[in-house]
Structure 1
């Protein structure tokens, strides 16, 4: 075709996909359809064949009551069905009008009551016996293939159709015939693929909404509705749920091209979505009675459930067969002293067998190890960078070049890739490769141009395929797809690798903490002895020079005093470092015992009152009478000394520092409040951080006192908090549980 014809073809194909098949404006001729108002049951629209089937022309019916059209007895049965709420399209109302037996079907849609009177076909056989046998066969099936085969054979036997197919939709939209039961002389379609355009989206939506669709004679002449539009809305009547709905003329021609004149489709649903169809076809016109259709609807529902159940079992089996290999790889990762990737690299063949790959690449930082058939090292690294950018824990594609064009350079080696990465700061991951498979798919027709053009009175129009010859389509750049079991295995292996990797990191961090603690302990021990010696010698020198009286050198005595102060500060720093190490390691221990708070306060006053007096700061203590706590006396005194000492240090002369202890419910609250300049709001959240030395006038502090104090209180099961308002002072509060609580 020329470019212009190609464009016309594409436009017509798009129009076909957009065909409003739910608004045909006509019905099939094997019945009469009318719309009724409620509650008067007056006829608003009717099919033009009402004269041939009911003996009244459309003009005589419109605006009349249903009773006037079909008689009082039959109309009463319709009204009773409406009042009973049993509007089921496959629960017919027996009718006899104008000498013809009908089956009446009712449904409501878009505010209208729609009545279909279908000419009753001749009943065939015992449907209940057929249905019972078929359901037993379906329940006994042990595999999907067995289920498909039993279904098509029994449905053909029950319905009498020349051909019964089970047709499954694939992810890409096209479908495949999974099973077939056909009469001799019928063209066979089992295993063939049908293009997605054979069943356009709006048709699939109707299949999803309706369990059944029947066409007794594809060579019929559509019967138009009178009037064409709904009188109340002046819009086409939506016949989505009408059994008599006229179908697309393209579909009718399609059926005849396939050698059938009548058909019935039974929808198969999975998870509320259209999974596939049971498609029945007959070379001659065939009108299946309603009881048969009701049985087929039940079959469709049961088969849908069975397919879902067996597919779930199939997926579980795919997972089960991977578990032993996953366990073997897990042991390899755990046993290797290096990284998890070292353990996998040592078992590369097992790793490839896990997912049926032809090659595997393992990336761990700058190290790249490959096995089997793989692209070049640079191609692997470039691909890995691209996959990492996709931000998926597990990535899978069996048509890599379609989404990563660079893969066209190595599609023979790796048209498919399955990969995972771990959340680590270095490049890492496992990439499995599958080579290109020149996969030949048997298409029933050309998937790219499923319809043809033919001349008509109005120019070109679409004509359904007249040839169903097998087309051989080579799929370039396609590998064997990664199945559910493969992707499950990749996800599970990634989970195991992540767990082992995190465990290694934790062990390394624990070892580092232990090494640090041991180093701090050794340094503390090794430094404390010389510090003690230096302090003693400084004392002896100080005493010796003091005996010289006025002749002693002031510079020497000052230097000795400075050395004593530095030695004392270094001892405090060593104690703080040991405490900090224990707190961070979660090994800070206390030795609690019953303590009288008033006695603790007396000791604190004795020690700290001189410091307060030296700065002219008023220091007061108040404890609730008889207050007893359960605490480590040395550690609690350390906390109080730190808090009160800081309060005195940062409170100006003539200021006040108050210490209070009171009972509050199930806990005892200690408070140290001062009238100093306070702590800036931006610094307050950080006062318990390690090495916090932001307070002005504290250049000599280690910055660990509050951090250690908080750790001591937490070890007692309490909480420490700070509050401050610049210019108004600060308050540090901590709680301790009451004894026995």
Structure 2
């Protein structure tokens, strides 16, 4: 029976989805029955009294089994059943009726103890033979070059060990379906090699049980299930997931009958905790497998699973190494001085071979550089616009483009799968690797679109397993995880190269700007030197003129006024000298400036002031123009102290400078008897101080120390724009008529 292609109608998909959902809902772990080749005894976990059982217990074990103590019924000690950390009863042999001997398997739950009894087989594997076979098998697996050879070797070994007519290795695919990738068989059964099976054949809850129970045996598919009895025990619907004798779904039994199988066994292949596949064994006649063979199968399956993981990791490592070497080669050939667009164009042949593909394109704006088999330019631009919206973190990959991008349905022979990188530059660049469709004929073991549940909700497996062919189109070979990760690394490399190039350009611009600033600073330094030289000369001339005037006058008051003027000019000259010597022309250290200012004032006022002066100054950076005004205020206060507090003589004087939040506080305190005159003075100096304090947006206050006076000046370190606008209004904004 063949079919040219898979039905793609909405009704067919709905039928398949309904079937899988219905299979997933079947409670196969709660059958309330066992396979009758063995016996099941269920005892209360506290009393160990048998409360229920299943199978032909009266005919094969004891007629009065119900209610008996489990230890006496089995002929073992109570301690063997009460010790939770010793569940194994592998050495126990239970004598039954009619000369039958059973092996025992113990399972525990919170409230019950389950003991499964299976008849011993006449042929029993020797322990040394099992170990020898395991060692030999492990060596044969290690010598296999790849996964396919491991699976073929595994099928042969398991058939030799278990004696079934057909043994296949069945691997689960990403979509939940499975494929037979290896087989060993006799002529009694047809081949299933390379045949596919739909996901509904092994539903979700069955896969969970395959992880939980590594081996499952059905000696005779025509058995009549043995129910758990008596019903009065109230055990209906109990979880039997761990019971080896658990009865099988009627749907699965009919499925195997339809395949022409009388007995089966399944051994799980678990890789990293996931169900990788199954070793499925089929026989045309009933066949029972003993516990010794099952134990050997579990061990060999573990050995085989480890080798499968090793082979997969080897393939992954080789691909990762190839991509790493290719990336290093690309990085070594990338021109750091060229733009990213120019670099990828120059390296286009190497980029195309980085990921095996049929075509490669570089898209930037409306420009398209392409090589190999690709759609037309207009289609590539449409694909580029769609990719920029769909890319996950800048990288997108698919092996079935037409399924998510309808426009690709018109050219599967040109592009069916893509791997794309989007570079988020000001003018985005998109790199596209494209693969054409790979027309594939899949052989299914029967039509996978079997009928769904009937009107009563009962499931019916398909009846035919003849090869059913499906032609798959529109799909390309998938991109593996290593290639996708390498694409992410390539994207990061190209973005970093672009950022480095921008940084180099910014550094060049910054260096040019710094050089220009350095030239301007040199010019400014020259001008400052020249201005300072001229200012100092001018101030010296004024000071010399005032000294001459002082010498030439006989009026004492005039001489004092001229002396005060000299002190004020000295303060201005000092600011200019400090400004010239400071590395930061706009800012000066106010504490250092005031200390030097006081040294010069002491020389001007008299040597006695050095012994009377006490300074406590905190370093505060302040603009030069504000420092000039603070210096003028201090000079005026010290001169007034000398004049009013001590009548021109030296006296105790304490000057403090502190910073409180964003304000500075300058305190000048004396101990003179006549200091109160300073507070009430209305002379030129007092009026000048008030004007200067106001220009600094500060306040001045006087405290009577009795004796002495304390002047406290508080000003902000920097003046706000609002205060500046208030004190210096724009003449153009004044109201008309003023």
Which TM-score applies when normalising by structure 2?
0.72
Cα distance in 1 for partners of 2:285, 2:655 equals 107
Unaligned runs of 5+ in 2: 1-6, 545-571, 602-612, 638-653, 667-695, 699-717, 728-738
The residue aligned with 1:354 is: 354
CA contact 1:354–1:489 (8 Å) conserved in 2: no
Query: 2:147 corresponds to which residue?
Result: 144
SS in 2 for 1:133: helix
CA contact (8 A) 1:520 1:578 kept: no
Partner of 2:472: 475
1:202/1:694 CA distance change after superposition, 3 Å: farther
Give the structure 1 partner of residue 95 of structure 2: 96
1:648-727 matches, within 5 Å, as: 658-659=656-657, 673-674=664-665, 694=720, 696-697=722-723
Taking the aligned partners of 1:327 and 1:3, their CA distance within structure 2 comes to 48
Cα deviation per residue 1:104-144 (whole Å; 9 max; x = unaligned)? 11011353211111122222554413333223322333422
Whole-angstrom CA distance in 1 between matches of 2:424 and 2:28: 51
SS at 1:487 equivalent:
helix
Q: 1:673 to 1:302 in 2, by over 3 A?
A: farther
| Partner residue in 1 for 2:186 | 183
SS in 2 for 1:421: strand
User: CA–CA distance in 2 between the matches of 1:525 and 1:219?
Assistant: 104
After superposition, the CA RMSD in angstroms is: 4.6
Counterpart for residue 105 of structure 1 = 105
Aligned to 2:704: none
SS in 1 for 2:192: coil
Partner of 2:463: 466
Residue 309 of structure 1: CA displacement? 1.8
Tell me what 1:606 maps to.
Answer: 596
Figure out how many residues of one structure are paired with residues of the other and give that number.
612
Aligned mates of 1:677, 1:34 — CA distance in 2? 99
* 1:243 Cα offset (Å): 0.6
Task: Report the Cα distance in structure 2 between the residues aligned to 1:297 and 1:304, rounded to whole angstroms.
Answer: 11
Deviates most, 371-380 or 261-270: 371-380
How far off is 1:83 after superposition?
2.0
Give the SS at the match of 1:606: helix
Give CA-to-partner distance per residue, 1:604-624, whole Å, 9 cap, x none.
42248999xxxxxxx984379
1:520 to 503, 517, 520: 517
Q: Which of structures 1 and 2 has the bigger CA Rg?
A: 2
| Corresponding residue number in structure 2 for 1:15 | 22
CA distance in 2, matches of 1:578, 1:349: 59
After TM superposition, give the deviation of residue 213 of structure 1 in Å. Answer: 0.7
Question: 1:358, 1:433 within 8 Å by CA — same for their partners in 2?
Answer: yes
- C-alpha contact 1:25 1:228 (8 A) present in aligned 2: no
Partner of 1:496: 493
1:154 equivalent to 2:145? Answer no
Partner of 1:383: 383
Using the TM superposition, give the Cα deviation of residue 8 of structure 1 relative to its aligned residue in structure 2, in angstroms: 8.5
The 5 A counterparts of 1:244-323 are: 244-323=245-324
Deviations 1:552-573 (A, max 9, x none): xxxxxxxxxxxx99xx99x99x
Contact 2:167/2:281 (<8 A) preserved: yes
**What is the match of residue 166 of structure 1?**
169
CA separation of 1:639/1:185 partners in 2, compared to 1, >3 Å: closer, same or farther?
same
Whether the aligned pair in 1 keeps the contact of 2:125 and 2:293 (CA below 8 Å) is no
Q: Say if 1:521 and 1:578, in contact at 8 Å, map to a contact too.
A: no
Alpha-carbon offset, residue 429 of structure 1: 3.1
Q: How far apart in 2 are the matches of 1:373 and 1:12? A: 41
TM-score, normalised by the number of residues in structure 1: 0.72
Q: Is the 8 A contact 2:337 2:501 kept in 1?
A: no
Task: Decide whether aligned partners of structure 1 residues 476 and 602 sit closer, same or farther in structure 2, where only a CA change above 3 A counts.
Answer: closer
User: How far apart are 1:205 and its partner, in Å?
Assistant: 0.6
Q: CA deviation at 1:296?
A: 0.5
Alpha-carbon shift at residue 218 of structure 1 (Å): 1.1
Stretches of structure 1 that go unaligned for 5 or more consecutive residues are: 548-563, 580-596, 612-618, 625-636, 662-669, 679-691, 702-741
Q: Is the 8 A contact 2:19 2:200 kept in 1?
A: no
For 1:94 and 1:674, the matched residues in 2 are separated by 101
Which residue of structure 2 aligns with residue 51 of structure 1? 58
Q: Which residue of 1 aligns with 2:688?
A: none
CA change 1:535–1:21 in 2 (3 A) is same
1:321-470 matched pairs, under 5 angstroms: 321-333=322-334, 335=335, 337-364=337-364, 367-389=367-389, 390-447=391-448, 449-451=449-451, 461-470=458-467
Aligned twin of 1:622:
616
- Measured in 2, the distance between the counterparts of 1:541 and 1:609 equals 22
From the superposition, tell whether residues 421 and 3 of structure 1 become closer, same or farther in structure 2 (CA, over 3 Å): closer
Per-residue Cα deviation, 1:579-636 (whole angstroms, up to 9, x for no partner)? 9xxxxxxxxxxxxxxxxx9xx956542248999xxxxxxx984379xxxxxxxxxxxx
Q: Structure 1, residues 244-275: CA drift from partner, whole Å, max 9, x if none?
A: 00011111122222232111111111221111
Change (3 A) 1:367 1:45: same
Distance 1:13 1:143, change over 3 A: closer
Q: CA deviation at 1:520?
A: 0.8
Matches of 2:586 and 2:446 in 1, distance apart?
82
Inter-partner Cα distance in structure 1 for 2:274 and 2:43? 32
- Cα distance in 2 for residues equivalent to 1:167 and 1:647: 94
Answer yes or no: is the 8 Å Cα contact 2:124–2:292 preserved in 1.
Answer: no
Shift of 1:318: 1.3
Alpha-carbon distance between aligned partners in 2 of 1:646 and 1:113, rounded to the nearest angstrom:
98
Secondary structure at the residue paired with 1:462?
Answer: coil
Measured in 1, the distance between the counterparts of 2:616 and 2:542 equals 45
Name 1:715's counterpart in structure 2. Answer: none
For the 8 Å contact 1:144–1:307, the answer to whether it is kept is yes
Shifted more, 366-375 versus 391-400: the winner is 366-375
Give the superposition deviation at 1:11.
Answer: 5.2
Tell me, what secondary structure is at the counterpart of 2:223? coil
CA drift at 1:527: 5.2
Contact kept? 2:419, 2:433, Cα under 8 Å: yes
Q: State the partner residue of 1:220.
A: 223
The 1:529–1:26 alpha-carbon spacing in structure 2 relative to 1, beyond 3 Å, is same
